[in-house]
Amino acid sequence: MPRLTVPRPAYEERTLPSHRFPRRPGRAAIPDQNLPKCLKGPGGVPETPRLPGLERFNTAPADVAESALLTCCGSLRWARRLAAHRPFPDLESLLAAAEEAAYDLTPDEVLQALAAESAHQPETDSHIPPTALRTAQTALRAAHAAYESRFGHAFVICLDDVAPEETLDQLLAGIRSRLNNEPEDERVQAAEELRGLVRGRIARLVGALGTSPFPQDRPAEGVGRPDSPESADSGRPDSPYVPV
């Protein structure tokens, strides 16, 4: 007799496992063979270093964790899901769960997250001549305006692996190239770039929590909630590069 599968209701959330996800194709594994002896357990099996920031994140009240996560991504459902699935055993598990939850966002929720993005200028090389820098920033502002007029949301691009002296060139090239995209294709690419941004922001957030207060505890800084206006300094953990 064939086995019957009961469909899951549309409103039911998928469970985000708190263990490490399998490595995605094309993503390099984290090397562990050269770990110092102090990080290896019985039989030489590597042990995950304890991160003070991750422990603080895991044990924080739910609303505090949600507010901190909203500084990384402006989707309230995404933040609530991650906060509800704590504790995470290591940073890579948290990053994998964050990516999984981001893939589960509906198109409207992706637009909500994109609407929460601010058009911050990236950190640039201080050796760029002032005249050249002003010219590039003028061109960038015009490109941003054209992009937002065409697609209805801020331009996002992940530049975590780009050197500061190359960010302006990469930004201008990226935004001009993507202006030619069809709206549906651009929504897909923007969502992919947003996931990259979120991954970097979470890693920096956890690192900062080892020595700093939670973002919402810092005076005069917003928590990034979609229904809250953000100042020029949103409190997002974007250092060292501030994507736009």
Contact indicator for 195, 95 with CB cutoff of 8 Å? no
Task: Provide CB contacts within 8 A for 215, sequence distance 6+.
Answer: 67, 68, 71, 205, 221, 223, 224, 235, 236, 237
Which is more confident, 124 or 187? Answer: 187
In this prediction, residues 173-189 reach a mean pLDDT of 95
As a whole number of Å, the end-to-end CA separation of the chain is 56
Determine the Cα–Cα distance for residues 75 and 99; give it in Å rounded to an integer: 13
- What CA–CA distance (Å, rounded) separates 63 from 76? 11
DSSP assignment of 189-236: HHHHHHHHHHHHHHHHHHHHTTTS--GGGSTT-----TTS---S----
The predicted-structure confidence for 39-61, as pLDDT tens digits, reads as follows 334 454 444 557 889 999 999 99
The pLDDT of residue 163 is 87
Q: Confidence band (pLDDT; 50, 70, 90) for 11? A: very low
pTM value > 0.95: no
Going by the DSSP 8-state scheme, the letter that residue 87 receives in this structure is: -
* pLDDT, position 186: 96
The answer to whether residue 182 sits within a structural domain is: yes
For residue 119, being part of any structural domain is answered with: yes
In a domain, 118, yes or no: yes
For the chain, where are the E strands, in sequence order?
Answer: none
Helices (H) and strands (E) in the chain, counts: 8, 0
Q: Are 132 and 119 in contact (CB under 8 A)?
A: no
User: Across-strand partners of 46?
Assistant: 40
The pLDDT score that the predictor gives to residue 128 is: 67
For residue 65, give both structure tokens. 């964790």
Decide if 244 contacts 157 (C-beta within 8 A). yes
- Does 216 map to a domain? no
What letter would DSSP give residue 40?
A: B
Could you tell me if residue 128 is inside a domain?
A: yes
Tally the domains of the chain: 1
**CATH number of the domain bearing residue 56:** 1.10.3330.10
Kindly state whether residue 240 falls inside one of the protein's structural domains: no
The domain in which residue 61 lies consists of 52-211
The answer to whether residue 233 is domain-embedded is no
Q: Is residue 243 part of a domain?
A: no
pLDDT in tens, 119-170: 554 555 556 677 777 888 888 889 999 999 999 999 999 998 888 888 888 9
